[in-house]
Every structure is written in C-alpha cells, then in structure tokens.
C-alpha cells in the first residue's frame, strides 16, 4: 500500500526582476533543502534576490495550507565578493555557496548572545557580539585576501599561501 502524501515541500528562488522559479515539489523536507542548496551553488550565474522553502498541507484551503520554513536573501559575499552569500535573518545564519569559499555566520549554539563566523579554507573562526560585527570581520578577511593578491579560485598552493600570509600577519 502506498503511503498518502499529507504535505509537500516547495523550494523556490526569486529573480531580480521579481519572477519566481519553482525548483520542484517534494514529499521530503530533506530533498527540498538538497535541491535548493544545489541550485544556490549556481546563484552567481543569475540575478537572484531571495529563496525560500514552503510547506503546503494537502487538502487545506487558503493561507492555513502554507507555512514558510525559511526565507533567505542573496547578498555579495564579504570574503569572495561574489553574489553567493545567502542570509537567513530569522534564524541568524548566512553561508556563501560560491565555489571554494563557504564563508559563514551563525548564532552560537551554546550562547545565543554570541555570533560565530568563519571561513573554512584557512580554518578562520571568530566570535562576535552581533551580526554586524561578524559581517565586518568577514569583510576584513576579504580585504586581507585581496591585499595578499588572492582572488577567484582557491587551489592547494593558494590555500597554503593564504595560511602563510595570515600566520605572518598575526605574529
């Protein structure tokens, strides 16, 4: 016997001109998020402003049938400067989906008064008291990378060069 679907999960993105692109309709929240995250990796190729995952309950009428799980805005990444930095202000998190970047910001899991930010490429981690401070720290990191001559692609040798540069500047 086939299990009856009671709700569906719908990921979508909104373009700069206001048009919405639906990415599918899924019976699993996990699959909807995977599809959205995969799509966001290509976000620098398009002019996107926001994305969302919405849950629709089957056989319900009106607004009661819909629940917005998350809405994220697209910004320029403070580290790599590409338009791949997706910010969820409701849950205080952000992540760059650009290739070789992955800069991030999120609320600390232990102390909600602390905001964590980082850049995995060089294991950079910083704790701040506000989202604004976290963004400033990532901008400083991006500025230091540009000053060191590190730009687009991060290869193994470029990664080592960045680590060396940051170790020297912190001594």
Confidence (pLDDT) at 157? 46
pLDDT profile of the chain (171 residues), mean per 10:
79 95 95 94 90 93 90 94 89 86 93 93 92 93 84 48 53 51
Confidence (pLDDT) at 166? 52
Indicate the burial class of 136 (C-beta count within 10 angstroms; 0-12, 13-18, 19 or more).
middle
The model's pTM = 0.76
Confidence (pLDDT) at 167? 56
Within a 10 A sphere around the Cβ of 128, how many other Cβ atoms? Answer: 18
Confidence (pLDDT) at 156? 45
Q: What are residue 86's DSSP bridge partners?
A: 74, 95
Confidence (pLDDT) at 73? 95
Is 142:131 a contact under the CB 8 Å cutoff? Answer: no
Pairing of strands 93-96, 20-22: unpaired
- What are the residue ranges spanned by the domains of the chain? 1-74, 76-151
């Amino acid at each position: 016997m086939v299990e009856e679907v009671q709700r569906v999960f719908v990921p979508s993105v909104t373009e700069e001109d206001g048009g919405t692109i639906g990415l599918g309709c899924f019976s699993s929240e996990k699959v909807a998020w995977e599809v959205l995250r995969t799509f966001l990796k290509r976000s620098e190729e398009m002019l996107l402003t926001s994305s969302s995952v919405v849950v629709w309950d089957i056989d319900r009428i009106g607004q009661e049938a819909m629940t917005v799980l998350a809405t994220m805005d697209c910004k320029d990444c403070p580290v790599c400067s590409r338009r791949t930095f997706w910010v969820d202000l409701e849950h205080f998190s952000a992540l760059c989906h650009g290739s070789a970047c992955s800069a991030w910001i999120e609320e600390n899991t232990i102390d909600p008064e602390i905001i964590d930010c980082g850049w995995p490429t060089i294991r950079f981690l910083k704790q701040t008291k506000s989202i604004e401070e976290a963004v400033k720290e990532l901008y400083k990191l991006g500025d230091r990378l540009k000053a060191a001559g590190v730009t687009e692609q991060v290869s193994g040798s470029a990664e080592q060069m960045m680590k060396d540069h940051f170790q020297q500047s912190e001594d």
